């Protein structure tokens, strides 16, 4: 299971792959080595992710290996339907999914593939909300950068 790194404007990201599918994105170096150069079979999806940081596009062609509850999978699918440059509130997604805003927030917090599953596009009703369980610091700065990069005024 290779781990590939990518230096992007807001941070260095680590992409964890299994059988050609993305299973996690992280901000901290993994315990074991990072594959370099990128394996040929992953160069297409990694190039798409790298290109996102130049020109925000949908990353729907990046194959995923998501593991979560049925509800989490529904939330993550709804997140992937939000186009770059658009946002939704936790409440709006809750209505769409027949759930509560807090449950949507919890599913976003457990999103294993941020950026590709764009939980940064989900905002609180009256503010930016959190990111990956953080209410401040480096992670919230990354969310702000991603939103500005996509043209969202915050």
- pTM (predicted TM-score): 0.94
Q: Do residues 94 and 31 both lie within one domain?
A: no
Low pLDDT (below 50) residues in the chain: none
Residue 109 lies in a domain: yes
Q: Do residues 95 and 34 both lie within one domain?
A: no
Residue with tokens 């950068």: 145
Residues with a catalytic annotation lie at 119
Residue 66: the pLDDT is 97
Residue 26: the pLDDT is 94
Q: Do residues 83 and 138 both lie within one domain?
A: yes
Q: Do residues 38 and 85 both lie within one domain?
A: no
Residue 79: the pLDDT is 98
CA distances from 85 to 8, 19, 38, 46, 121 (A): 18, 31, 29, 21, 8
Q: Domains in the chain: how many in total?
A: 2
Domain interval for residue 111: 70-149
* Structure tokens, 54: 């130049």
Residue 114 lies in a domain: yes
Q: Do residues 129 and 77 both lie within one domain?
A: yes
Computed on alpha carbons and rounded to an integer, the radius of gyration of the chain in Å comes to: 15
Residue 86 lies in a domain: yes
């Amino acid at each position: 299971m290779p781990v590939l790194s990518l230096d992007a404007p807001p941070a260095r990201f680590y992409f964890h792959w299994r059988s050609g599918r993305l299973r996690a994105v992280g901000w901290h170096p993994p315990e074991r080595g990072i594959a370099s150069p990128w394996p040929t079979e992953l160069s297409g999806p990694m190039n798409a992710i790298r290109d996102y940081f130049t020109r925000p596009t949908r990353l729907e062609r990046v194959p995923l290996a998501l593991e979560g509850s049925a509800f989490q999978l529904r939330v993550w699918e709804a997140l992937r339907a939000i186009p770059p440059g658009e946002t939704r509130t936790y409440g709006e997604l809750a209505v769409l999914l027949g759930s509560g805003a807090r449950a949507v927030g919890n599913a976003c917090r457990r999103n294993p593939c941020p950026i590709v599953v764009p939980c940064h596009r989900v905002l609180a009703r009256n503010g930016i909300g959190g990111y990956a369980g953080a209410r401040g610091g480096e992670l919230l700065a990354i969310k702000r950068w991603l939103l500005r990069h996509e043209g969202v005024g915050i």
